[in-house]
Structure 1
């Protein structure tokens, strides 16, 4: 019997309804052990080992879970992920981060039926965030493309995503409102994967006019196709982004902005920039725009 997933194997084959593994894919847990582990679980465990070092899975915690030099994980989501999905064991490493952006390198001490106790080996302020606040106001796209935008924007350090209705938006308002929770979950998972210090937030559906009235920004950049001729670099030369600034990037839908919306941008004196001569898909434009802003910021603040 496999000591991890309890697969029962007999002579030439291993019988289990969900994986149907063969005996050739059963391994000894260690070279000196008499215990066996199936290929499925060996692969799950080995993916965390890179160049002889364990790749520490990343999870968000609250500082009230810390007692002396121990962290107790009892919330259902993190417990299920660590104990069930990853099948972690005592002695394995976890990377945890609290709401104060303090990162903890820990070792699992014990896993019971309802909680995980980990010992703190090292703690330090996280550096996985931008020096300025980068927000995105974007007209939602159809399902898969929008999921990609949410994921990549999170990886690129966006703090807040504002879904906005525009004249040419191809997604129904009621559909967008139902997707907000799903998008927040994508942001949560992506934040864990790229070890972000702060989990970003996805706001409810709104309009750009309402956002600008309710929120304060140091710089608002609207990316437009065909109309604008000023680039991101030109913008930084005239008015660079400084440390601590709050910047809002506005991206339109597949059909672009309407003439009415262009008139609004001009009336509000918003900065309209181009991403070049090429016509980009909306999801590509988001990634290119955010990436270029971060790149130019790093150049101007060396």
Structure 2
């Protein structure tokens, strides 16, 4: 069944309404759904529903609730990726694949080595990246849509890190401590994890020294040096394997 998202305000005791215009058009023109067809619906917060369509209108789709249960496909650990903004279209690939792997939130970060030609038009990039997240999450049938936050500075990112149970800093110059060492050495499963990935060229020496001086776990992801669009996916996959599988 296809999965769609709504808000708790659109969910009643027996029925659900979907009001997103793009979703409605997708149902009508692409999926060609009809009254009586079944769809999955998530409230984007906690619950997912199996439903049967009662009415399809240009303004809304109404469905009767057949079954209700808590999310079954969401990881316990909420992982946030702080991603140094890469060049060209690499961010879309990063978002798509990390959403499939179970990321909770993606935060684009401007660092010393970030190269972006259109800083003044960055809000449009955020809108596009959020749509990539929306599309990816429907394909893999997760319960929430991971948020792509507005771009922040490196210093702002550093100020946010103290709010996480575990902060992983994969660094190309680290060759001793592996991510496996850190994850298997934990006494308890963390509820929140931050993964910090630099842009092409990595972090500057000044930035790396600062990250190593605060409460982060500086780790290696292996013997090879990964591209920025690969490193976040690899780190997230390792975290999910060790903590969730």
- TM-score > 0.5, shorter chain as reference: yes
Distance in 1, matches of 2:124 and 2:8, equals 32
CA deviation vs aligned residue, 1:164-207 (integer Å, no higher than 9, x gap):
11122222433544311111111111111111112111111112
What CA distance in whole angstroms lies between the structure 1 residues aligned with 2:217 and 2:124? 32
CA–CA distance in 2 between the matches of 1:73 and 1:266?
47
Q: Secondary structure at the match of 1:67?
A: coil
Aligned to 2:82, which of 104, 120, 137? 137
Instruction: Deviation per CA, 1:213-270: give whole Å up to 9, x if none.
Output: 2451111111111334211111123335515x21100011121122111211222242
CA distance in 2, matches of 1:72, 1:177: 30
Unaligned runs of 5+ in 1: 1-55
Q: How many residues are paired up?
A: 243
Taking the TM superposition and a 5 Å limit, the aligned residue runs for 1:98-117 are: 98-117=43-62
Bigger Cα Rg: 1
Does residue 61 of the first structure (1) align with residue 6 of the second (2)?
yes
**1:257/1:112 Cα in 2 relative to 1: closer, same or farther (>3 Å)?**
closer
Question: Residues 241 and 297 of structure 1 are in contact (CA less than 8 Å); yes or no, is this contact kept in structure 2?
Answer: no
Contact 1:140 1:176 in 2 (8 A): no
Q: In the alignment, is the contact (CA less than 8 A) between 2:54 and 2:63 conserved in 1? A: yes
Q: Which residue of 2 aligns with 1:188?
A: 134
Deviates more, 1:167-176 or 1:152-161: 167-176
Q: TM-score w.r.t. structure 1 length?
A: 0.74
Task: Establish whether residue 221 from structure 1 lines up as the match of residue 174 from structure 2.
Answer: no
TM-score, reference length from structure 2: 0.91
SS in 2 for 1:171: coil
Residue correspondence of structure 1 range 65-76 to structure 2 within 5 A: 65-76=10-21
CA distance in 2 between counterparts of 1:206 and 1:241 reads 30
Q: Deviations over 1:86-105 (max 9, x none)?
A: 22112211100114321111
CA RMSD of aligned residues (A): 1.9
Structure 2 residues without counterparts, runs of 5 or longer: none
Query: Would you say the 8 A contact 2:76–2:244 is kept in 1?
Result: no
Deviation at 1:271, TM superposition (A): 1.4
